[in-house]
Amino acid sequence: MTIDSILPSMRIGGAGAPGLLNGVGRTNASLARVQMQLVLGQAMLRASDDPQRSAALARLTASLEQSLTRSDLLLRGANLLEASDAPLARSLDLLAEARALVSKDTTASLPESERQAIATELDQLIARLTTEGNARFGSVHLFGGTRAGGAPWNHRGDGVLYMGRGRGLDVGLGEPVTISGHEAFGGVSRRVDLSGTVDLSAGLETPLAAWGAGPLGSIRISVGSMVQVVDLSGAVTLRDLKNIVEGLDMGVRVEFDAATGKAWIRNALSGPGLSISDLTGDDTATRLGIDTLATYTLLSDFNDGRGVRFAVPGIDPVTGQPANNTGADLLISLKDGRFFVVDFTNETTVGQVLATINAAAAAAGISQAEFFAGLRANGNGLLLTDNTAGPGGFTVAGFNNSWAAEDLGILGGTTGAVIAGEDRAQVAVDGAFTWLLRLRDAVIAGDPLGISIALDGVDRAVDRVALARSGAGAKASRLAMERVALEEIVVQQKSLRSLLGDIDLAEASTRLSQLSVQLQAGLAALARAGSLSLLRYLG
């Protein structure tokens, strides 16, 4: 054997060195792992360390994150609701101040200068109420509904326009956490439904032909002093109708609900009433079902929902006390001296009212050629025509103190052949701004009945704001309570996560000490093994 044949097979350090090196390597790796666990505070550095425990920890972490997110959302929701309390409280004060300014018994009799001064104060209250309605919390307009980025109330023409939409802003809790302007103050009117129920699964792309109205022409839309003749002949879908009508910028909206198959029109301009009517020779509005004063219009929709008050046999309609009357309602006198009495009983629609008037005329021997009650052809209102000749006047008067002539809009007289009634079926917003505006107008006009009606409306507005305020407070309290309960769950989840994922410091420190001693011993042994010489190997 030569030295050359021995050298290639030699392992410096002796035959036991490889085992020592492997042992030192494993110890060093374990030591590094413990050190990393201590630095990170984690029991597991990889999911493979303990798959079941890691899976449970992942699920718990996800649940904790959801809980923390919801807790933040609950806090934001409660803050938004609580922020609405102050402007709602101030709004109640403003309405109470308006109520105190005006007395239904004395204001109408005041001199014009004093009534004008009261009207000026009411204008200031309306402006201040608009400011409260546009209150913000951060960048959120509290009463804008789902449109919380812009001011929901703007003065427009004769009224105050509500720009908000929806029930309220959902910050991620699955429910609104703001109070809409409509809920708090009254922002939109009742619905004027398109006739019938249709399949609205296509939403705004639903063809207007689905309503079976046939070829469309034009309609007349008026809101207060704003009047537009609207050509619908090019409208194909519900979206077209919406774009055309809302593009008028009159505060008129087109909305729909796919679940019920209904589409409708609303007035969002507080103050003036909305009127939709046919034009002469064009019954498009009637065929669509949106003529606000047609034969199908309910009497209960007249006069801002107050309806038409008929006389009751044996009852004084003013005092409500027993009286000796027949219950008849109208006395209609013609130019030729003839007259007839109309007795309404249980009529519920405009068509039934017209039929009763014409039947009463026929019963008095008056032909339809001589007298006829119908509807105005261009614009809304009842139309009474007297084709007789004579020196007398053509008049409609109340009978038995009935309010029917006034409520139907036909009280009065003329020397001509036609009494064109007022539109008493306009669609108005029943809300705070409407009644403050109408109260102001009634004060200026010295109208005691108008003042009384407007004050009743203000009282309803007070109830509405108070209800919205209490509702917001109750919801804020509920969200706060839910957040407190959720915080307890978060504490438990964090504790369990720590139990599953955090390192046991005492146990890890002990292992670190043991591994350090073991590593030092291994290195010492390796050093001794490395001192073997070639001669000792040969020996």
74-120 pLDDT tens trace: 999 999 999 999 999 999 999 999 999 999 889 999 999 999 999 99
Radius of gyration of the chain (CA): 41
Q: Which of the 8 DSSP states describes residue 134?
A: T
pLDDT of residue 30: 57
- Is the pLDDT at 504 greater than 60, yes or no? no
Q: Which two tokens stand for residue 199?
A: 């399949």
Query: Could you count the other beta carbons within 10 Å of the beta carbon of residue 343?
Result: 18
> Taking residues 347-369, what's their average pLDDT?
97
Looking at residue 492, its pLDDT comes to 77
Q: What is residue 59's predicted lDDT score, i.e. its pLDDT?
A: 78
Distance CA 139, CA 379 (A): 44
Distances (CA, A) of 400 to 317, 332, 374: 8, 13, 24
Tell me the C-alpha distance between 317 and 44, whole Å.
Answer: 86
* Cβ neighbour number for residue 300 with a 10 Å cutoff: 12
Please name the residues in contact with 178: beta carbons below 8 A apart, sequence gap of 6 or more: 80, 81, 84, 140, 142, 143, 144, 145, 148, 168, 169
Between CA 469 and CA 474 the distance in angstroms is 9
Strands (DSSP E) contained in 441-510 are: none
| 397-419: average pLDDT | 94
The string of pLDDT tens digits covering residues 460-483 is 999 999 999 999 999 999 999 998
Q: Write out the DSSP string of 306-375.
A: T-----BTTB-TTT-SB-------EEEE-TTS-EEEE---S--BHHHHHHHHHHHHHHTT--TTTEEEEE
Q: Residue 312: which pLDDT band, with cuts at 50, 70 and 90?
A: confident
pLDDT above 90: residue 248: yes
Inform me whether the pLDDT recorded for 320 exceeds 90: no
| For range 443-452, the mean pLDDT | 95
Per-residue pLDDT, 50: 56
What percentage of the chain reaches a pLDDT higher than 90? 69
What is the pTM for the complete model shown? 0.80
* Mean pLDDT across 445-449: 94
Say if residue 486's pLDDT is above 90. Answer: no
Q: What does the angle CA 344 – CA 345 – CA 350 come to, to the nearest 5 degrees? A: 60
Helix (H, G, I), strand (E, B) or coil at 254: strand
Instruction: Answer yes or no: is pLDDT of 508 > 70.
Output: no
For the chain, the maximum distance between any two Cα atoms, rounded to a whole number of angstroms, is: 158
pLDDT at 313: 80
Average pLDDT over the chain, rounded to an integer: 86
More confident: 231 or 511: 231
